[in-house]
Amino acid sequence: MKNLADILELDGPAGPPTERMLQILTEACRLFATRGFDGVSVRDIAQECGISKATLYHHFPDKDAILRPLVMGITRSLHQRVLRAIPAEAEPAEKLRAFMVESARFFEEYRWAFIVSSTVFWTDPQARQRRQRIEWRDRHEALLRIILEEGVQRGAFRIEDIGMAGRLVLGALNWMPKWYDPKGPLPASAIAEQFYDVLLAGVGARPDVITI
């Protein structure tokens, strides 16, 4: 997983996270993703980091304080990164490909963090934090709908329900971190390319093709 400093959103004027904070966040992220938030104790995180509980508490008062910057940072960073990857003047089909491939690359790089984020998206007790995450999620979904609508208007896509098509794309992408194997034969971007090809070509046989 890449350096979490690139995606974190930490509260307060303390500045960028220290190396110790990043170590705690990285190990906690992996543990939360593999065992579940409730299945991990502060002691577990401290042991994985090779530090005392007192040292961990010096940086984070509780598990929620560790989790919150991960969840917010993933939601915001995914949208911003995908937005930057989409060529402004490209055709709708190329924009859709860029949306899908860059999403897959992001998931591959921050797999554990995304799994944690998606698992606890709705459980943050701080209403303000939930609203902010929902706003970033809505921006991301709106970006995809704009691409699909542009494709319909230009005759590049044949879509009757933009919302349904968007959910199909996001559903395929958002589940990737849960089953994707980094040790497998294909990088996540190549899998997204295949998703894109299937989506544009469709799975129905052409009328003039005889299937057996």
Is-contact 106 6, C-beta < 8 A?
A: no
* Residue 149 domain flag: yes
Q: Give residue 97's pLDDT.
A: 97
* Short-list 136, 154, 147, CA closest to 87: 147
Distances, alpha carbon 172 to alpha carbons 123, 132, 178, in Å: 23, 24, 11
- Please indicate, yes or no, if residue 75 is contained in any of the structural domains: yes
Q: What do you get for the CA distance between the two ends of the chain, in Å?
A: 45
pTM reported for the whole predicted model = 0.81
- What is the Cα–Cα distance from 26 to 130, expressed in whole angstroms? 22
Query: In the structure encoding, which two tokens stand for residue 14, read together?
Result: 């303390």
- Is the distance from CB of 17 to CB of 8 less than 8 angstroms? yes
CA distance 91 to 131: 33
Tell me whether residue 59 is in a domain.
Answer: yes
Residues of the chain with pLDDT under 50: 11-13, 209-212
What domain range is 12 assigned to? 4-201
Is 8 contained in some domain?
yes
CB-based contacts of 33: which residues, under 8 Å, 6+ apart?
Answer: 111, 112, 113, 115, 116, 119
Q: Structurally, how many domains does the chain consist of?
A: 1
Give me the pLDDT at residue 148, please.
Answer: 96
Q: How far apart are CA 130 and CA 20, in angstroms?
A: 27
pLDDT recorded at residue 64: 84
CATH of the domain at 64: 1.10.357.10
Radius of gyration of the chain (CA): 20
